[in-house]
Amino acid sequence: MKPVIAIVGRPNVGKSTFFNRVTRTKDALVDNLPGVTRDRHYGNASWNDVEFTLIDTGGFLANEGDDFEQKIRFQVFQAIEDADGIIFLLDGKEGVSPFDKDLIQIFRKINKPVFYAVNKVDGMEQEVNLYDFYGLGTENLYPISAEHGYGMNDFLDDLVRAIPKTVSVLPREMTHIAVVGRPNVGKSSLINCILGENRLVVSDRPGTTRDAIDSVFTHAGRSYVLVDTAGIRRKGKVVEKLEKFSIIKALKSLERCDVALIVMDAKEGITDQDISVAGYAFERGCGCILVLNKWDAVEKDGKPPRAYYSQLKMEAKFLSFAPVATISARTGFGVLKLFPLVNEVYRQYIQRIGTGQLNRILQSAIRKNEPSLYRGKRIKFYYATQTSTKPPTFVCFVNYPDAVHFSYRRYLINQIREGAGLDKTPIRLFFRPRGS
């Protein structure tokens, strides 16, 4: 396993900017608004051929009266406990804060290397601002600028020399699962239930999760990567710049996942926005499972489940292949039953069909139901082949590709589903002229 380094500090000191520079990504949200990062955020980093995992944490505050701030503090403490080393990031422009002194007291009680970096120092002439920080009682201070790169090379040289060196083990193939849905439907609660720990900040406030957070989980001998995402709202309701960034990241998480758990609040019923979120997943070719959360409340009210299934089938016809699961992330009801569904969806999602079998399925389908004539001429289907998986994608060569009606395309896709046993995965079918 790679060593784990946690970035800790009060809000708005530049932790996410530091994270992005060192991991060479833009995975952590960066904004001038304090408190942007709330959950722990993990990223891979390498310096001088030493690989390590970096954790970006929420801003540390000492407001004991605010329940939400207490949850963020808990996440910071969890990151410190998980880490092999700590980067304590300080603000070179704002100077020493009482929160910095609180953190210093915490670090003095742990037996782990701590690196004190004073950020927002853009050049040697600004290093005079370091004198106040020596009052914290530490001798080694690193003046750096995470935004402009000043002092970063020397700092990272010392960091990788001091952290424990361990062998990086390549993970087995893992199924990537994106947990998506509109705000406040219980996405983070579902992941917490699966993981059996409070890895993510959970709150009743809509929009709590802003970054996409990856968590590795093993169940019944198989490994998965769970991705918690920001709640997706209608474009007209997205007013904050931060929330716009969050939605972009949520959509990107769909692009890199294998299976999307589309979480809905069964107590509130199926909404137009639930269907819109499902549409985002469908457009990106994800395997999909429709998850009706808070089912315990529905059963308590005595509402018939058949009504929910009928509404889903009616409003999300494009996801007719997607299984439906009823769960309660609060009580754990039905949560572990998601994994057999995920495994089956993933199995079909990566399935390859032999060219011979595929063409037999299509020839049989065409004999049963021939396509309409095109300008008085017959549409001829020459042969078909599978070009890729994730999702299964097929190309069929015909004499008039543009003449194949969308309803006939849907008919052929359904015949492939039935003939090849691909009833729980999206399928893509394209038509091309022969010889292209």
Interval 291-314: pLDDT, tens:
999 998 887 766 667 777 777 878
**3-state SS, residue 158:** helix
User: Is residue 279 in a domain?
Assistant: yes
User: Is residue 413 in a domain?
Assistant: yes
Cβ neighbours for 255, distance < 8 A, ≥ 6 positions apart = 284
Q: What one-character-per-residue DSSP string does 125-136 give?
A: GGGGGGGGGGGG
User: Is residue 242 in a domain?
Assistant: yes
User: Is residue 153 in a domain?
Assistant: yes
Query: Residues 137-192: pLDDT tens digits?
Result: 777 889 999 999 999 999 999 999 888 765 444 345 789 999 988 888 888 889 88
DSSP run (H or E) holding 368: helix 355-368
Residues 367 and 340 in one domain: no
User: Is residue 169 in a domain?
Assistant: no
pLDDT for res 165? 67
Residues 389 and 261 in one domain: no
User: Is residue 188 in a domain?
Assistant: yes
Which range marks the domain in which residue 322 is found?
Answer: 175-349
pLDDT for res 16? 87
Residues 64 and 206 in one domain: no
pLDDT for res 152? 95
Q: How many helices (H) and strands (E) does the chain have?
A: 12, 15
Q: For the domain that residue 377 is a member of, what is the CATH number?
A: 3.30.300.20
Q: For the domain that residue 282 is a member of, what is the CATH number?
A: 3.40.50.300
The DSSP bridge partners found for residue 374 are: 377
Residues 362 and 317 in one domain: no
DSSP run (H or E) holding 46: strand 41-47
Residues 217 and 337 in one domain: yes
**110 token code pair:** 């742990």
Residues 276 and 325 in one domain: yes
DSSP run (H or E) holding 280: helix 272-283
User: Is residue 167 in a domain?
Assistant: no
C-alpha gyration radius of the chain: 26
pLDDT for res 203? 58
The domain boundary, picked from 349, 384, 416, lies at 349
Residues 271 and 297 in one domain: yes
Q: Cα separation of 27 and 132, whole Å?
A: 32
Residues 366 and 399 in one domain: yes
Residues 213 and 105 in one domain: no
User: Is residue 168 in a domain?
Assistant: no
Report, as ranges of residue numbers, the positions in the chain whose pLDDT lies below 50.
Answer: 32-38, 167-171, 238-239, 241-245
Query: Residues 251-270: pLDDT tens digits?
Result: 667 877 899 999 999 888 88
b/e string for 357-391 if b means 16 or more Cβ within 10 A? ebbebbeebbeeeebeeeeeeebebeebebeeebb
The domain boundary, picked from 349, 373, 405, lies at 349
The domain boundary, picked from 137, 162, 187, lies at 162
The arrangement of strands across the sheet holding 114-119 comes to: 41-47, 50-56, 4-8, 85-91, 114-119, 141-143
Cβ neighbours for 120, distance < 8 A, ≥ 6 positions apart = 13, 14, 91, 92, 93, 145, 146, 147
CB 163 within 8 A of CB 46: no
Residues 201 and 341 in one domain: yes
Q: In degrees, to the nearest 5, what angle opens at C-alpha 296 toward C-alphas 292 and 298?
A: 70
pLDDT for res 359? 96
Evaluated on CA atoms 44, 110, 149, 253, the torsion sign reads positive
pLDDT for res 109? 79
Amino acid at 356: G
Residues 153 and 218 in one domain: no
CB 7 within 8 A of CB 82: no
pTM confidence score: 0.66
Number of domains in the chain: 3
Residues 87 and 188 in one domain: no
Q: Cα separation of 409 and 432, whole Å?
A: 13
Q: Cα separation of 412 and 406, whole Å?
A: 10
